[in-house]
Amino acid sequence: MPGGPDARRTQILDGLIRLAGRQGLHTASMRTVAAEAGVSLRLVQYYFETKEKLLVAGLEHLATLMTGRLTARLASADDREDPRTVIEAVLTEALPTDYESRVFHLVYTAYAVLAATDPVLAAQPFLRAPDEMERFLTGLLQTARSAGRLPASLDPAAEAALLLAVSAGLGTSVLLGQRASEEAMRLLHYHLDKLFSG
Amino acid sequence: MPGGPDARRTQILDGLIRLAGRQGLHTASMRTVAAEAGVSLRLVQYYFETKEKLLVAGLEHLATLMTGRLTARLASADDREDPRTVIEAVLTEALPTDYESRVFHLVYTAYAVLAATDPVLAAQPFLRAPDEMERFLTGLLQTARSAGRLPASLDPAAEAALLLAVSAGLGTSVLLGQRASEEAMRLLHYHLDKLFSG
DNA sequence: CCAGGGTTGATACGATCGTATCAATGATTG
DNA sequence: CAATCATTGATACGATCGTATCAACCCTGG
C-alpha cells in the first residue's frame, strides 16, 4: 500500500488542517472533516474513534508539519554556523508569509484558544515547541555574545524570550490583516539590526 | 428602572463574556448565555434576535470594557506627562495580570480567531483599537525622542509596533501558562529599559 | 378603568452534532 | 480454498443547536 500504514490517518488529518485553515477549526466536525478528506464518516470514526482524539491527533499533526517546515528552512540556510542567519531563519519561519504558514498559525492559535479552557487539550505538550525554541535561541545568542557579535550588556535568555514574543505578536498582526507580512519582516529585521549592532 | 434602558443588554453581554472566559467562546450558545446571565432564552432572543448579532454585540462590549480599564489605569498613572510612565501603563494593562484581564485577552483572542474565517466578524472594526494604540505609542515615543529621552537613532513608528508585538506575544505566553505574568512584566521592563537608556 | 404595546415565558421545529450499530467487503493466512 | 479479521459503508439515535411561534404579563397613558 502506498504511503505506509497510516497514509489514511495522514490523509484525514491533512483534511482537518486544510478545513480548519479555510473555514475555522470550529467548523471541523467528524462529518465535514471526512468530506474534506474525501472519505466516509465511518472511516474517520474508525481511525480516531472520538472527536477529542481526532482534535488531539490534529494538533500533533500540525506540530509535525511545522517542525518539518522549520527543519527544511534551517537546512537551506546560507550559513548554518552564523547565529544571526539561523535566528533570522527561525523567526522568519514563524511569520505567516505564505498561505501554508498562514494556515499553520491560524489553526495553532485556534488550538491554543481551545486549550485555554479545555483540560484535555491543555494536557497536550502545547508549550514544548516554544520552550525548546526559546532555549535554542538563548543558546544561539549566548554563542553570538561570546563571539563578540552581541553586546555583553544583553541578557541572552531575556532577548530570546523577547524575540519569540515579537515574532508571535507580529505574526498575529499579519494574521488579522493589520500589517502585510513584508512589513512584519521589515520590523523583525529592524529589531535584529538593533540587537546585533550593539 | 435601575441601570438605564439597556441594563438588560449589559447583563446578558456580561454573562456572555463571563461564560466565554470560563468555558470558552465556543460553548456560548443562546441558551448557555441566557443561563449564565440568569435570564430566559427568549430574552436573549428579544434583545439580540440572532446569535450573530449577539456575538457582534459581545465583541463591542468587550472593547468597551477594555477601553474602560485602560482609561482608568491611565487616569491613575503617577505622572501623566512622562512618556515612559504612560507607555508602561498602557503595555502593562495589555498583559493578562489579573483574572479579569485574562478573560479579556482570552475572549478577544477567541474572537480574533473567529474573525479570521468569518466575514461578518472580520467586518467589525477589529483593528481600530490596535491601530489607534500604535499611533498613540508612536506619538509618545516621538515626544520622548524630541526631549532627548530616547536615542535619535530609533524609529518611533517601528518601536511602537514592536512594543505592541512584544506585549501581545508576552500576553499570549502568559495566557498559555508558559510564563507567569510577573516574568512577562519583568521582560517588558527589561525591553523598555533598553529603549530609554539608549 | 382599561386598552394596548413593550416584555417575558413555554414550547416546538428542523438541522446538525457525536456516537453507536449492523453488514458488506477485501485481503491474508493456515 | 476457505475462513478469519481488519477495513469500509449505510443508517439510526439522542442531544443540542438556532430560530420561530403563541400566549401571558405588566405598566403606562387616555
pTM of the model: 0.92
Q: Would the CB atoms of A190 and B155 count as touching at under 8 Å?
A: yes
Exposure string of B38-63, with b = 16+ CB inside 10 Å and e = fewer, is ebeeeebeebbeeeeebbbbbbebbb
**Which residues does chain A have within 8 Å of residue B141's beta carbon, measured at their own beta carbons?**
none
Question: Residue B21 and residue B101: Cα distance in Å, rounded?
Answer: 10
**Same fold yes or no, B1-49 and B58-196:** no
Residue A4 has pLDDT above 50, yes or no: no
Question: Residue B60 and residue A140: Cα distance in Å, rounded?
Answer: 43
Residue A189 has pLDDT above 70, yes or no: yes
Residues A59, A124 contacting (CB under 8 angstroms): yes
pLDDT bin (cut points 50, 70, 90) of residue A3 is: very low
Name the CATH superfamily, with its identifier, for domain B58-196.
Tetracycline Repressor, domain 2 (1.10.357.10)
Residues with CB under 7 A from strand C: A 27, 29-32, 41-42, 45, 49-52; B 5, 8, 39-43, 46
pLDDT bin (cut points 50, 70, 90) of residue A5 is: low
Question: Residue A16 and residue A20: Cα distance in Å, rounded?
Answer: 6
**Which residues does chain B have within 8 Å of residue A167's beta carbon, measured at their own beta carbons?**
169
What would the pLDDT profile of B86-109 be if each residue is shown by its tens digit?
999 999 999 999 999 999 999 999
pLDDT bin (cut points 50, 70, 90) of residue B1 is: very low
Name the CATH superfamily, with its identifier, for domain B1-49.
Homeodomain-like (1.10.10.60)
Question: Residue B22 and residue B194: Cα distance in Å, rounded?
Answer: 37
Question: Residue B47 and residue B33: Cα distance in Å, rounded?
Answer: 13
Give the largest CA-CA distance in chain B. Answer: 60
pLDDT score of B198: 61
Distance A121 CA to C21 C1' (A): 29
What would the pLDDT profile of B147-165 be if each residue is shown by its tens digit?
999 999 999 999 999 999 9
What would the pLDDT profile of A15-64 be if each residue is shown by its tens digit?
999 999 999 999 999 999 999 999 999 999 999 999 999 999 999 999 99
Residue B123 has pLDDT above 80, yes or no: yes
Q: Would the CB atoms of A162 and B187 count as touching at under 8 Å?
A: yes
Q: Would the CB atoms of A187 and B158 count as touching at under 8 Å?
A: yes
Residue A2 has pLDDT above 70, yes or no: no
How many other C-beta atoms lie within 10 A of the C-beta of residue A178?
A: 18
C-alpha cell at A34: 471526512
B153 HSE (CA, 13 A, CB side): 10
Nearest in space to B191 (alpha carbons), one of B175, B174, B173, B169: B169
A51: Cα separation from own chain's centroid: 23
What would the pLDDT profile of A163-181 be if each residue is shown by its tens digit?
999 999 999 999 999 999 9
Instruction: Tell me the average pLDDT across A62-80.
Output: 91
Mean pLDDT of chain A: 92
Residue B35 has pLDDT above 70, yes or no: yes
Mean pLDDT of chain B: 92
C-alpha cell at A77: 540556510
Q: Is B175 on the interface with A (CB under 8 A)?
A: yes
From residue B1, alpha-carbon distances to B5, B13, B43, B46 in Å are 7, 18, 17, 18
Residue A7 has pLDDT above 90, yes or no: no
Residues A132, A138 contacting (CB under 8 angstroms): no
Exposure string of A151-167, with b = 16+ CB inside 10 Å and e = fewer, is eeebebbbbbbbbbbbb
Q: In 3-state terms, what secondary structure has residue A177?
A: coil
Q: What are the residue ranges spanned by the domains of chain B?
A: 1-49, 58-196
pLDDT score of A108: 95
Instruction: Tell me the average pLDDT across B44-55.
Output: 94
Which of A194, A195, A196 would you mutate first to test chain B, the one with the most B CBs within 10 A? A194
Enumerate the nucleotides of strand D whose atoms come under 7 Å of any protein CB: 7-11, 16-21
Residue A198 has pLDDT above 80, yes or no: no
Amino acid, single-letter form, for residue B61: H
How many other C-beta atoms lie within 10 A of the C-beta of residue B80?
A: 11
Residues A36, A15 contacting (CB under 8 angstroms): yes
Q: Which nucleotide is nearest to A30 (CA to C1')?
A: C18
B165 HSE (CA, 13 A, CB side): 31
What would the pLDDT profile of B60-95 be if each residue is shown by its tens digit?
999 999 999 999 999 998 888 899 999 999 999 999
pLDDT score of A109: 95
Per-residue DSSP letters for A74-97?
HHT-S-TT-HHHHHHHHHHHTS--
Q: Would the CB atoms of B173 and A168 count as touching at under 8 Å?
A: yes
